[in-house]
Chains A and B, each alone.
Chain A
Amino acid sequence: MPPRPPLTWSSLPALALRPVPASLALRPVPTSLAPHTQTRGIRSILPVDLRLSRWDQDNPHAKSPTALSTDKALERKSYTLPHRTGVIARKKGMTAIYDPETGVRTPCTVLQLDRNQVVAVKTRKKHGYCAVQVGFGWRKPQNCTRPELGHYAKARVAPKEELHEFKVRNEEALLPVGALLGPSWFKEGQFVDTKSNTKGHGFTGGMKRHGFSGQPASHGNSLTHRAMGSAGGSQGSGSRVHPGKKMAGRMGNESHTIQNLKVLKVDEENGIIVVNGCVSGPKNCLVNIQDAKKKPWQATDLGLPTRPLSLETVVEEAVVAAAEPVGDAEVVAAA
């Protein structure tokens, strides 16, 4: 390795390109004055204060093309983002509901919520987008890593079986950490989207996975009845298999959203939400439920809650739960 040249003032770039002293850059300058806009040079080499997030709109250096384009993108997308966070539920099975008046039978899926709590929130300022991280169920502390335990301890909630981030439209939709979300978060008659993993089918052939036709059973055919056939042309198409060619492979167990399912029943006592029709996935799979994206926002019509149970209730519940023996309340992680 050649010896590095000594760092001297003479070797630094011209004065105009020299970094602004950190003490100056720290102070957010009023935009009207905007001294940084008059600095000549390449913007990307200007020093960026690391203590201020690049998503922070008060940070003058955050007015970079990246931040602006992200802002614009979020603004464009905002009308498709839900006004409220969603919850995580477990699919328990299907049944039907009869209307006693008309006798109409409605097939439905029964979902059960379990200890949905807000574990963290993501803000536009710090993370660049708004989201609510919701936890589901309970996991043994022995089965958590120390960083996970620290994350839960910071939120003052018990370790969760599953975490999911629900994107929301703006900061108003962010909820206090630790808040408990029950089925009454949804109202009967409203529409929701459910997102869950479909049933896994394992490694399947082209006929089952993509609906290929297969080959004839007879007419001199031997041993190839369900094969996928040709994978593409020869020289004309480059003598290669084109990207995205449908082939045999693992089928199912992939995320699938079903939009606009009507909520038929809400049972706060037993944690039950009943939705119209079917939801992807096997029984006991986890389902994310959120307000329907493609329906008008019905908060006022249906009286949808925008704030969950008060935090006092959460604490109360925790105290009651603490009285019951649930295992080690305190864990020394080194053990």
Chain B
Amino acid sequence: MTAIPLGVPRRLVEFTLDGREARVPEGSTILDACRAAGKDIPTLCQGDTLAPKNACRVCVVEVEGARTLAPACSRKAEAGMEVRTDTERARHSRKVVLELLASSVNLSTTPRAAEWIKEYEAKPDRFGPNAARVDEEPRVDNDLYVRDYDKCILCYKCVDACGDQWQNTFAISVVGRGFDARIAVEHDAPLTDSACVYCGNCVEVCPTGALSFKSEFDMRAAGTWNEAEQTETTTVCAYCGVGCNLTLHVQDNEIVKVTSPHDNPVTHGNLCIKGRFGYQHVQNRD
């Protein structure tokens, strides 16, 4: 007998989404159904290559008959359920989540954060100027990537990418509890004294820019980072024979960042140190 179950064919689940009939394959989440229906639900800790962690609560929706709001990113669609995404209660909850996050964390490099704050009329300032913040200098302890704790929302995506979901290096974890919780390598040491293998797969999934490539970090600091002027070209890595797809982000004819398509059958968005960072040789031009 094989140890690997082949599974049964997936059926379609029918339920009601904001008063309309929705049909999604069995196993889909409410978020999948919302996106299929063209609804824009904000998400931060959700990752397309990762199992949901339900950490940020910004995607909550109301499920008829449930006492609490449900995170759309992880709650599976069930036959006959009635889901409402835009109720007063759901919107209020998202607003408070955004206020709490934006008051304690620097969301300046979080894609769409400003847009959502506006849309939900969140007022992060209402906690006053002394709201709890980490207030730390970004940690620059190697030449490849930077850790900026002021921007960390503790969503655990980096921990999952480094750990059992992809990289299986387990270099980082959550240390401390409650208000002291933070993502760190063992003994909160510099990266160069840790188990880190510099694959950058944590940077790939970070939703806020708390983890960023040093190239991007330096250019932002110098005021030269300009995404509008960047091209993104997907090609194939020049190192080993595995054939990982690389998306080269190029500005002024310099590679400034390397990512990988998350739906690629070879990489699923993951790379190793060579593919992610080993590009400098082509632009040693004089």
Specify whether A and B are partners.
Answer: no
Residues of A within 8 A of B (CB): none
Q: Which residues of B contact A (CB under 8 A)?
A: none
